[in-house]
Chain A
Amino acid sequence: MERLTVADTIREITRNHLTEHNGLLMGQAVSAVGWVNNTVPDCPGIIELPMSDVAGAGIAVGSALVGRRTIFVIRFQDFLILNGSPLIFYAAKIKELHNRPAPIFVRAIAAEGIGPVHSGVLHSIFMHFPGFRVCAPMTPGEYRAIWKDYLEHDDPMIVSEHRISYGNTEEINDMYVPDPDITLYAISSTRFEVGKAARLLADDGIRCSIVHLYWLKPFVVDERLSHPLMRSRIGMVIDSGHEICGAAQAIAYALSEATGYRVAALGTEDKTKCLCEPHQNKAPDAQRIYLAVKQLMESDDLVL
């Protein structure tokens, strides 16, 4: 049997939800232009929204409020700034305010290198607000796990997807080395780069353990996360979103608080993502991770 890609997994989960469980899927132009990278099935329950980003999100939340467990597709995460209003202000608050849930499943899709309004990675913003569960699954197994979690809870969930993952068929495992010099925690698309960076660093004699993160909120520092850091005594969290006030910094802080060890953060620079090179400000790739780790390990103030 052919192995399912992440895109196949999303499509089949959706098909089952829509045809067997009275679910809905809403979004703009979801049944056109390749059916959102072939992640949307051709079946009943799909609602084309007009290009009204704020109202559209409100309509989707309203349908979740009456029990449809709506999948809301956002083709580019940057649109979340507009779509975010009913999500942040209503879906996320309504359970605590009125004891009525609005469990909407937000498929927020990130991409890379296509300019200022199509390359954003915005999961950090949603980690900031109470009421959301936030995740960034990059493998078929992770996607199935987060879907199960969504069904087991009644919270709105922000699923920070990345186009780069859609063709992936493999699970991505943590990697531990004996006597590590540093532990690298990778999020979103950087997970496909961190292994390469570790190999470059190994050539320079720097041994890296790698921990893959796809649950961003609630964020629990369990043994899997803390143990390698206790051994390496220094860590770095790498994310595809902006570094300043972003997931990388927030999680680095949580790991540092939990273990007492220094954990650095690496994300995109504090610059607009322009369309053309060299101004694309892409997510950290292997080379950038390599350089950032080298710089960290060589810095004078590094006290272990």
Chain B
Amino acid sequence: MRSADFGVNPGLPKLAREEVSLKLFYRMCLARYFDLGVVQASEQGRINIPVYLSLGQEAISAAMSMVIPEFQIFAQHRCHATYLTFGGDPAKLRDELLGLPTGCSGGRAGSNCLQSHEGSMTMFGHHGLIGENVPLGVGAAMGSNKPTVCFFGDGAAEEDYVFSAMAFAVTKQLPVLFVCEDNNLSILTPVKDRRSWDMTKVAAALGMPAVQFSDDPWMILHETERLSKQLPAFIDCFTCRANWHVGVGTDGPPEWDRFQLVKERLAKQGLTDQAEKIEREVQERMNKLWNA
């Protein structure tokens, strides 16, 4: 069932405006090259705290941030990409990972608990329990009446309180988008060894629109656009974690490489030059950031 094109409408990139496709790619680059800097800084021993990389999973928040930039964000532990693509300051994230007082939580919280309350961005940091952000996000949506997005993993989806918070959002018709960044793994245990049920069917049974597809960013744009008008709603997005659960190592190639696939799609749209330019610029910027 899991595959790079599961549930994806292949006609969407053609319909997208060029600048949208390129901005999307820019945001993916931002998350990717930031995390590649983390890998290097960790290998050099400059970062010596546990890090939860978004590498491989960048497309989800890169696309969503284009559609719902003003939503309150309640992210999961793997949240570098969420933070960066929605507009969090990369220098503050770097400093947080370096344990500096100039970090986004003063260097006290670390990689898995990022927050940003600057400009129009409202991202609440969690504290490390998987799925805890879901009831909190639901309560925040209720308390503030602001649209809210909750990101969580396929493992967190199994936490009893995630399920019951989603149910409450349906009961009270709260404006919450629930997004499962489904990399098929809880640490190293695949979904099939943990449960026989499907979160998308559970969400649908609760009475909210629920869809499941792979992390093609144009598909995410399209579905987020559609579902953000029908909240609460649930998206289960198949994606691939490229690195270890925690730390910068790798266990062989991921099932698919979304970054590469997106570049190929952009080439098909005749956007190779622009894409390469964007990639180069972001790479340089992140090099500077990490070697400042």
Q: Which residues from chain A sit less than 8 Å from chain B, CB to CB?
A: 24, 47, 49-50, 52, 54-68, 70, 85-86, 89-90, 93-94, 96-100
Contact = CB atoms under 8 A, between A and B. Distances in A.
Contacts of B125: 94, 97-98, 100
A47 B142 contact: yes
Given A62-B135, A63-B142, A52 B129 contact: no
Interface of B: 72, 105-106, 108-109, 113, 115, 117, 124-127, 129, 132, 134-144, 146, 160-165, 167-168, 171
Chain B residues touching A, majority SS: helix
B109 A58 contact: no
Given A49-B168, A100-B117, 7 more contacts: A47-B142, A55-B138, A58-B132, A58-B165, A59-B135, A59-B142, A68-B143
Contacts of B139: 58-66
Contacts of A96: 108
A86 B135 contact: yes
Given A52-B164, A58-B134, A59-B135, A100 B142 contact: no
Contacts of A56: 135, 164, 168
A52 B165 contact: yes
Contact of A98 (B113, B134, B162, B171): B113
A96 B168 CA distance: 29
A64 B165 contact: no
B157 to A, nearest CB: 13
B161 to A, nearest CB: 4
Contacts of A61: 135-136, 139
Contacts of B164: 50, 52, 54-56
A184 B98 CA distance: 52
B138 A59 contact: yes
Nearest to B138: A59
A17 to B, nearest CB: 14
A143 B117 CA distance: 35
A66 B144 contact: yes
Contacts of B105: 97-99
A54 B143 contact: no
A99 B165 contact: no
Contact of A100 (B124, B160, B167): B124
B20 to A, nearest CB: 31
Q: Which has the most chain A C-beta neighbours within 10 Å: B143, B144, B146?
A: B143
Contact of B143 (A24, A50, A86, A94): A24
5 contacts: A55-B161, A59-B165, A66-B140, A90-B127, A100-B115
A92 B216 CA distance: 39
Contacts of A60: 139
B167 A62 contact: no
B168 A55 contact: yes
A98 B167 contact: no
Contacts of B161: 52, 54-55, 58, 85
Contacts of B136: 58-59, 61-62, 65, 86, 90
A34 to B, nearest CB: 24
A15 B168 CA distance: 25
Contacts of A98: 105, 108-109, 113, 115, 124-125
A47 B168 CA distance: 11
A58 B135 contact: yes
Nearest to B139: A62
Contact of A67 (B106, B135, B141, B143): B143
Contact of A54 (B124, B135, B144): B135
B168 A64 contact: no
Contact of A66 (B127, B129, B135, B143): B143
B143 A93 contact: no
B167 A52 contact: yes
A60 B168 CA distance: 12
A96 B136 CA distance: 18
A94 B113 CA distance: 10
Q: Which has the most chain B C-beta neighbours within 10 Å: A62, A89, A90, A98?
A: A62
Given A59-B135, A89-B132, A64 B143 contact: yes
A62 B113 contact: no
Nearest to A24: B143
A66 B148 CA distance: 12
A58 B143 CA distance: 12
Contacts of A67: 143-144
Contacts of A50: 164, 167-168, 171
Contacts of B143: 24, 62-68, 70
Contacts of A58: 132, 134-136, 138-139, 161, 165
A63 B165 CA distance: 13
A199 B44 CA distance: 73
A299 B136 CA distance: 53
B160 A54 contact: yes
Nearest to B142: A63
Contacts of B129: 85, 89-90
Contacts of B160: 52, 54-55
Contacts of A47: 142
Q: Which 8 A-B pairs have the closest CB atoms?
A: A62-B139, A58-B135, A63-B143, A52-B164, A59-B139, A55-B164, A62-B136, A55-B161
